Amino acid sequence: MSWSKLKQQLESFLCPALHGRVEYRATSYRYLPDKAGICYIAVDKKNVLNMSDITTLIRWYQTELEIKNDSDIQIPINNEEIEAVRKDTKGIVPEDRLKIMARSRKISSYAKELLSAQSSLSKSNFNVVANKYLSTPIDESLESNDILLNILALVDRRVGKKRILNMTEKMKLKHPIVQYFYELRLSKL
């Protein structure tokens, strides 16, 4: 599918409040056919997400330790996770330490997921992911681990106010760029 047709289809799915604010842009190299073009998403005429550039407005993590030490990341833990740690330690660890251990385990797994999603995004082809988004149900795109699919689904008009409001806890576990688009959508409800 040509870029202009793909862009037109993607923009037809934008929610009305974000129409004109969120833009899909692409550059290509006319004289270098082997050089891929660059696609990016702009919000209010500012380049917010460029798949191959780590200098965008959103923080890109380089290591698992950066994610663990980021105070902006809030990881909720539940009783099942605490019970799993209690079972693994055979009940000899104090209660307050169990919570710390459960949170640490969850942050480690979250960091690994985040880094793998981030690295796949930097290697991804926007056109391929956008075509996949157009051909899959909106629920799959929202539940996916693919950052770009999450973003495209969040700005979609088919995702209603009630669903957006019910996603608050899930969004805490997503990449900062997904959280940015969630906040953008939330502010326009």
In whole angstroms, give the CA distance from residue 110 to residue 107: 5
Which residue type does 80 have? E
CA 63 to chain centre: 17
* Least trusted range by pLDDT, from 48-52, 76-80, 161-165: 48-52
For 116-162, write each residue's pLDDT tens digit. 766 666 555 777 888 899 999 999 999 988 888 999 999 999 999 89
* 3-state secondary structure (DSSP) of residue 162: helix
CB neighbour burial string for 119-134, b if at least 16 within 10 angstroms, e if fewer: eebeebebbebbebbe
Task: Specify the pLDDT at position 183.
Answer: 92
Task: Return the biggest CA–CA distance within the chain.
Answer: 67
Task: Specify the pLDDT at position 188.
Answer: 77
Task: Specify the pLDDT at position 36.
Answer: 53
In whole angstroms, give the CA distance from residue 164 to residue 114: 21
- Reply yes or no on whether the pLDDT at 74 is more than 90: no
CB atoms closer than 10 angstroms to residue 96: 7
Structure tokens given for 148: 């770009």
Task: Specify the pLDDT at position 154.
Answer: 93
Task: Specify the pLDDT at position 147.
Answer: 85
For 13-72, write each residue's pLDDT tens digit. 999 989 989 998 877 665 555 555 567 788 998 888 776 544 555 566 677 777 777 777
CA 187 to chain centre: 17
Task: Specify the pLDDT at position 72.
Answer: 74
CB neighbour burial string for 99-111, b if at least 16 within 10 angstroms, e if fewer: eebbbebbbeebb
Which is it for strands 46-50 and 38-43: parallel, antiparallel or unpaired? antiparallel
